[in-house]
Structure 1
Amino acid sequence: MSQESLEIPAAVQRALAAIDAQDNDAFVAAFAPDGYVDDWGRQFRGPDQIRSWSQNELIGKQATFTDTQVTQPGNPLTILTQVGGKGFNGPSHFTFAIDNDQLASMTITA
């Protein structure tokens, strides 16, 4: 296991693996039941809204993450990644808050 993966909690690793696999069910399952995605100020709370958001904005757009690095370890944890795919393309920060080995939130910023 690489040093980088040791810095990334299991809940975040599951979400990133789901994005890599283009598996919307696994992505949604990484979140706590009351978890949410904050996409540049737009919030999507709970599994149904997260699933719909991902289908329209992330996995449904065949998003890819490359050159991912941890910029702020801990909880919350922030990564910087290069987003590709059929939607937004460019660098973005993703901040993950973890609660009981599930994602409480994922916030996307510049």
Structure 2
Amino acid sequence: MKALVIVGVAAAVLGVGAVVTLASIDFLRAMAGDAARPAPSPRVSTGAPLDPAAQRYLDAVAAKDADAVASAFAPEGLVVDVGREIRGRDAIRQWAANEVIGGVYTLLDHTTRAGGVTMLVRFQPGGVGGFRADYSFDITDGLITKATLEYA
């Protein structure tokens, strides 16, 4: 009788392990499928249209184009990335290539303000995981002059 109980418990443990393993495999397949799909256009479907300079920034990241990210900024543009200052297109291009390109943005909300836009985004570095962030772009003559990035 004891042997049957042990066999029954062992079978139950193996069955649960198989279910957990299959669920994990399905989860990993779904993640891999998401990574293989192109990123959706990071546009907001409601409210005022996003400022074109901010949209160019998001589109450049989606296109994995560090040159286009830098081109969204004024020549002496400034990125304040959690207190760290990156100034000028060359430095912004390098920052984008090292820290932004390959990531995926989802624009959750935005507010147009005098001289710029504030955005709530979800950023997934490397296209996985991710976090929410508040981005504030000062914009003059169609170019970002200052981008302040704060992470939640």
In structure 2, list runs of 5 or more residues that go unmatched: 1-43
Contact conserved, 2:61 with 2:103, CA < 8 A, in 1? yes
Task: Give the match for residue 123 of structure 2.
Answer: 83
Do structure 1's residue 14 and structure 2's residue 62 form an aligned pair? no
Work out which structure has the larger RCO, using CA pairs closer than 8 Å and 6 or more positions apart in sequence. Answer: 1
Do structure 1's residue 73 and structure 2's residue 112 form an aligned pair? yes
Task: Give the match for residue 105 of structure 1.
Answer: 146
In structure 1, list runs of 5 or more residues that go unmatched: none
Structure 2 counterpart of 1:24, from 66, 79, 85: 66
- Between structures 1 and 2, the one with greater strand share: 1
Offset, 1:2: 4.4
Offset, 1:68: 2.5
Q: Give the root-mean-square deviation of aligned CA atoms.
A: 2.0
Offset, 1:76: 3.0
Offset, 1:22: 1.0
Offset, 1:4: 4.2
The normalised TM-score by structure 2 is 0.63
The normalised TM-score by structure 1 is 0.86
Task: Give the match for residue 51 of structure 1.
Answer: 93
Quick one: distance in 2 between partners of 1:86 and 1:3?
27
Contact conserved, 2:116 with 2:138, CA < 8 A, in 1? yes
Offset, 1:64: 0.5
- Between structures 1 and 2, the one with greater helix share: 2
Percent identity between the two aligned chains: 33
In terms of Rg, which structure is larger?
A: 2
